[in-house]
Homo-oligomer: A and B are copies of this chain.
Amino acid sequence: MISVNGGVCAASGFMAASAAAGIRKKGREDMALLFSKEPCKVAGTFTSNVVKAAPVQWDKKIVASGNDVHAVVVNSGIANACTGKEGLDACLQLARSVAYQFGNEISEDSVLVASTGVIGMQLPVEKMQDAISEMVLKLSDGEENATLASKAIMTTDTVNKEFAVEFELSGKKVHLGGMTKGSGMIHPRMCTMLCFLTTDVAISKELLQKALSADITDTYNMISVDGDTSTNDTCVILSNGTAGNEEITEENEDFKTFCEALHQVNSTLATRMAADGEGASHLFTAKVVGAKSKEEARTLARAVVSSTLTKAAIYGKDANWGRILCAMGYSGAEFDPEKVDLYFVNDIGKIALYKQGVPLDFDEDFALEILSYQEVTALIEMNEGSETATAWGCDLTHEYVDINAEYRT
């Protein structure tokens, strides 16, 4: 398996485009369109937030219907959440516009819609329809367009996030790639902010959904920027089956390989989202090993990267490791604190902080050196079993407060 350029256009038959609809600052591209002429099987996971944005409601219906999908139209700037009937109508109008631009050769219910931005504002539908007609003309399968699309969906993200892999199935070269956005309101419960995956692998809809649902548990659902689960979380994967591999219809070796590729793409994109968390100066990882159960390992790892106090300490390069034990303690997991070993580790080195109930004397200068590096992992040995889990987060910085005290205005 090798990583390749091209993001959402790495898989054959997928095209992308972007445009500035004027939802955000003048000239800033704020819309993206993904298109496959071949009909795509689709799988998706969506926010568990009770308050579901209009596009989430729209997409869930399409994914559940079993219809094939041809396109995804995305905007940044406005989330189209808490917008009532007008918000749902907007989804219909946007999907209809895309279908219309293709001479109605595709139906409106083969067009997914996604939005990210401020909650509680209505979309400027007419401007967006103009942008759609512009994007349909600009569609291309070149990697430049994939990159432009991944930039158009950014909000407070500081870097775009796209990744793709090439691998082989039944002797055929196949591809899987994707793009994500997400920097704040990141604490996914079902999936993450916005994530669009494309593949040319031929695979049944059932197995596509099964692979996706399983993989998000250990990727997007294991990152946290601020503990706020968005109203718009959406992760969809489109497979147009153009790679020519033998269609995957059972959980065979090919399915296993596909799942591995999916995990590589998802975990790469998830890590990049955490590292680019709003205002972040550190990628902060919690790796739990030796846990009694997988679920407990996940719970513990998530609690550590979600702890406000721990995040502030990481920002301050302060080895205030007691906050990590504290977060584990209130996570809901049952464990014996007297069995835990705790370390900080990264490319600079590894330092032991706490061992089996006893705080260790440690070299504060070395700890500072480790914590001054941009990536740091809290390695937590539970000594109670053999299950592991990893969660990714970032530190809590002044810039986070700046961004979110002024985001809307």
Which A residues lie at the B interface, using CB under 8 A?
47-52, 79, 81-86, 118-122, 184-185, 187, 189, 226-231, 306-309, 312-313, 315-316, 318-323, 325-331, 333-335, 337-338, 353-354, 357-359, 396-398, 400-409
| Total copies of this chain within the assembly | 2
Could you tell me the distance in whole angstroms from the C-beta of A89 to the nearest C-beta in chain B? 13
B226 touches A326 (CB 8 A): no
Checking B50, B119, B309, B322 against A322 with a beta-carbon cut-off of 8 angstroms, the contacting residue is B119
A83 partner residues in chain B, CB cutoff 8 A: 358-359
Judging by beta carbons under 8 Å apart, are B320 and A118 in contact? yes
Q: Once bound together, how far apart are the Cα atoms of A181 and B76, in whole Å?
A: 44
Distance between Cα atoms of A337 and B47 in the complex (Å): 15
Q: How far is the CA of A393 from the CA of B409 in the complex (A)?
A: 23
Q: Which residues of B contact A120 (CB under 8 A)?
A: 321-322, 325, 353-354, 359
Residue of B nearest to A330 (CB): B229
Judge whether A119 and B326 touch: CB under 8 Å: yes
- Note all chain B residues with C-beta closer than 8 A to A229: 326, 329-330
Residue of B nearest to A320 (CB): B408
Contact A326 B359 (CB under 8 A): no
What are 15 contact pairs spanning A and B, CB under 8 A? A48-B330, A50-B328, A83-B359, A118-B322, A120-B325, A122-B359, A184-B309, A227-B308, A228-B323, A231-B326, A313-B405, A318-B405, A318-B409, A320-B407, A320-B408
| Shortest distance from the beta carbon of A71 to any chain B beta carbon, whole Å | 27
Q: Is A330's CB under 8 angstroms from B400's CB?
A: no
Minimum CB distance partner of A329 in chain B: B51
Q: Give the residue among A83, A185, A335 with the most B Cβ atoms within 10 A.
A: A185
A326-B81, A330-B49 given as contacts; is B312 within 8 A of A400 (CB)? Answer: yes
Of all chain B residues, which has the CB nearest A334?
B50
Across the two chains, which residue of chain B brings its CB closest to A232?
B326
Whether B400 contacts A323 by the Cβ 8 Å rule is no
What's the nearest-Cβ distance from chain B to residue A366, in Å?
15
Which of chain B's residues have a CB closer than 8 A to the CB of A184? 309
Contact A228 B318 (CB under 8 A): no
Q: Which residue of B lies closest to A338 (CB)?
A: B84
Residues of B within 8 A of A121 (CB): 359
6 tightest A-B CB contacts, nearest first: A119-B322, A316-B405, A51-B329, A312-B404, A229-B330, A49-B329
Residue of B at shortest CB range from A310? B228
Give A336 to B84 CA distance when docked, in angstroms: 12
Closest chain-B Cβ to A23's Cβ sits at a distance in Å of 16
Q: Is the CB of A318 within 8 A of B407?
A: yes
